[in-house]
A and B are shown apart, each in its own frame.
Chain A
Amino acid sequence: MIVLRTPKGWTGPEEVDGVPVENTWRSHQVPLPGVRENPEHLRQLEAWLRSYRPAELFDADGRPTERVLARVPEGAARLGSTPYANGGLLLRDLPLPDPADHAVRVDRPGTTLHEPTKVLGGLLESVMAATADRRDFRVVGPDETASNRLDALYRATGKAWQAGTLPTDEHLAHDGRVMEVLSEHLCQGWLEGYLLTGRHGLFSSYEAFAHIVDSMVNQHIKWLRTSRRLPWRRPIASLNYLLTSHVWRQDHNGFSHQDPGFVDHILNKSPEVVRVYLPPDSNTLLSVADHVLRSRDYVNVIVAGKQPTFDWLTPREARGHCARGAGAWEWAGTEDGSREPDVVLACAGDVPTQETLAAADLIRRHLPELALRVVNVVDIARMMPDTEHPHGMPDAEYDALFTRDRPVIFAYHGYPWLIHRLAYRRHGHAHLHVRGYKEEGTTTTPFDMVVRNDLDRYRLVMDVIDRVPGLGVRAVAVRQEMADARTRHHAWIREHGTDLPEVVDWTWGG
């Protein structure tokens, strides 16, 4: 490396208005600030420009002379023409497997469990293996590739490492293409540099700590947004985040590790660049991953858990659901098509989906006369108007899915205000009631986390009873039963240290 010491503002005005400028901080921006108004500044500027002797450097037509260009390279060797700085020129499509090859079998929804990120690990292993010779795919993350259940990758490559090793180390390799360093900044910077020069990658992070790179991703989004409007800049592979170890399942870390706000941050940015996905199970995660790894010029954020999660959709259903981005799960509702639903239970994210389906299960048993619709949202930008985001839903479609005037109880993975912000212009917004994370966190049981934040199945049922006109009076006994369940939960976890058996053992239709 080189350490180069030169004066700041070198060759510029030594002094301006009697104070030193060259080789001081005053030369940082514009050394002569008042040239139009101040004849002395104008004189100084002219002397400064002429000190370079331009007549020696440019011919009468303004072209640089041969002498000036004598030591300048030619063609693509020029720093302004290198294809490495226009990475899309070098980009090749990734050799992606059929997601179905890695999918889990689902005979009945909500009865089997898989760890979604572990299932994804199989797909990533396949991509890593298929790029062994091409070497144009890397996975970066602070320290959590294995913790995030992506360790299948180590069957295809190691972790890049050139420093010392010990016999007890695992998976370290000089040529590894998994990159772990306990600096989100480095992970982000490396991956951006890798993508901008024509390759592919994925950044897996604890959800809460993606915030560390908030300002870096801002800049990358701006870069992509501007580049998309420059025809000579060829599209590059998207920057893909997998946010896992998320807010609802920080069982051993607690409050400090609970923050689902990265999504809020991202959704403030250029709609033409940002995409946010909350796949509710393993097969939808595969489908989303397949999509983002093919995409160009986006920043894609996927939020998906690493804990055992119910399988809801078959691979085929998952593909259709993810393509729609949001849709009704007819099998979970109780509508018969003869009238509008009495209430819509909507959800986004794996844990809220589980609580919503458990709430639907309770409603089916306790309030069978209700016409219930269950809606799941994978692509959160679907909530926005189509005039504001390319994935936004037209009002007619939104009205058909969520209704114009029926209560919608929306169980959302992150901060509930986000959903209100995205949907505030919808006809049915006054009837939209969102539950989500309200900064009630600690080290506790998984179900207690949702109870503390009023996102649990019992609370959702109470919300339905409170918001469907006329139901409160009729369903007073059911509401009491739900409240009692929450009270029972409170006592049970403090005595036993685990969740209620009826919660732990719950399955759909079980």
Chain B
Amino acid sequence: MSDTRTPSDPPVLSDDELSALDAHWRAANYLAVGQIYLMANPLLTRPLVPEDIKPRLLGHWGTSPGLNLVHTHLNRVIKDRDLNALCVWGPGHGGPAVLANSWLEGSYSETYPDVGRDAEGMGLLFKQFSFPGGVPSHVAPETPGSIHEGGELGYSLAHAYGAAFDHPDLVVACVIGDGEAETGPLAASWHGNKFLDPVHDGAVLPILHLNGYKIANPTVLARIPEDELDRLLRGYGHDPCSSRATTRPPSTGHSPPPWTPPWTGSAPTSGPPARTARPSAPTGP
């Protein structure tokens, strides 16, 4: 992992906390895979047999672990700072990830009491995903906490700014997929910071998630030189902090999520959130 903090910045997360975050991330990943594949035996209380597997496998795994990582850390920041927060999941085809997190935190069972937060409920959560009579494979209206369908490709960040306008107490995180970042609407959306009023509007936290690929191709922003991407985003008036997960977790298990949101570095743990989407000061000629 690398980020742009200076080496003198102290580590912000203890090993114990990283281990708790890792447990959450692993649980969310487990639930995401379970939704895509399983219609029985949700807790693997016995070896898998073919009959445990859905006859039609429909869903998107690729983006899900990244979304789960973001959700895990957003949880931590929301809890630590007592934030009002909303997240727009641009790569909302990763429905399993957002559903997994909603179930873990209990929101799902409160919204849909028949899907309890227990083994039976987990079984239903798995089976209903992309299943006739169940729930869609994308983040969708059915998904608690969502305002953005996964098929709404290219305007997650516009939705995020729209949600932040006139909500001064709200932080809107927005995960932007590197596929959707190639669209015209998303390219224009970076300019939202020229319209966000520090007094009357909330904060927008864009999280550009580069996992490098679309369905069959690499993504532009993952393949241009990193400094070029940095200059592009700075040119839009944003202040990017870069994080990279480079190592595969050991095969004996998964290491703690090797990513810490850079804005936790030296920022106070109380007080207003870092308004990372704040535009530069107006500069008239």
Binding site for B on A (CB under 8 A): 1-12, 14, 22-25, 27-33, 35-37, 42, 45-46, 48-54, 56-58, 61-65, 67-74, 77-82, 84-85, 87, 135-136, 138, 160-166, 174-175, 177, 179, 181, 183, 185-186, 188-197, 199, 216, 219, 222-223, 226-227, 230, 232-233
Contacts and interface: CB of A to CB of B under 8 A. Distances in A.
Given A71-B24, A226-B141, A51 B254 contact: yes
Contacts of B222: 5
Nearest to B117: A63
A80 B107 contact: yes
Contacts, number: 392
A128 to B, nearest CB: 13
Contact of A61 (B84, B119, B285): B119
Given A4-B210, A7-B211, A189-B158, A35 B50 contact: yes
6 contacts: A1-B240, A51-B253, A67-B23, A71-B21, A185-B154, A186-B189
A28 B75 contact: no
A431 to B, nearest CB: 43
A385 B65 CA distance: 49
B140 interface: yes
Contacts of A67: 19-20, 23
5 shortest interchain CB distances as A-B pairs: A193-B162, A189-B158, A62-B119, A80-B107, A185-B185
B24 A52 contact: no
Interface in B133-189: 140-142, 144-147, 149, 151-152, 154-155, 157-167, 170, 184-185, 188-189
B131 interface: no
B76 interface: yes
Nearest to A201: B162
Contact of A197 (B147, B216, B242): B147
Contacts of A136: 166
Nearest to A220: B152
B211 A192 contact: no
A196 B158 CA distance: 12
A164 B249 CA distance: 48
B78 A77 contact: yes
Interface residues of B, number: 143
Nearest to A5: B244
Contacts of A135: 166, 200
Nearest to A167: B284
Nearest to A173: B197
A45 B144 contact: no
A4 B283 CA distance: 30
Contacts of A85: 86, 144-147
Contact of B243 (A2, A22, A61): A2
Given A73-B75, A189-B185, A193-B158, A79 B118 contact: no
A37 B210 CA distance: 34
A35 B37 contact: yes
A82 B50 contact: no
A248 B265 CA distance: 59
Given A29-B59, A78-B105, A58 B27 contact: yes
Given A1-B206, A219-B152, 10 more contacts: A2-B207, A7-B211, A35-B53, A56-B23, A65-B23, A72-B105, A82-B85, A175-B200, A185-B154, A190-B161
A465 to B, nearest CB: 51
A6 B20 contact: no
A6 B245 contact: yes
Given A7-B245, A11-B65, A162 B193 contact: yes
B114 interface: no
A74 B83 CA distance: 11
B36 A73 contact: no
Interface string B239-262: 111111100110101100001011
B147 A2 contact: no
A497 B44 CA distance: 82
A164 B283 contact: yes
Contact of B48 (A4, A28, A46): A46
Contacts of A188: 155, 158
Interface in B46-74: 47-50, 53, 55, 57-63, 65-66, 69-72, 74
A310 B75 CA distance: 59
A185 B101 CA distance: 30
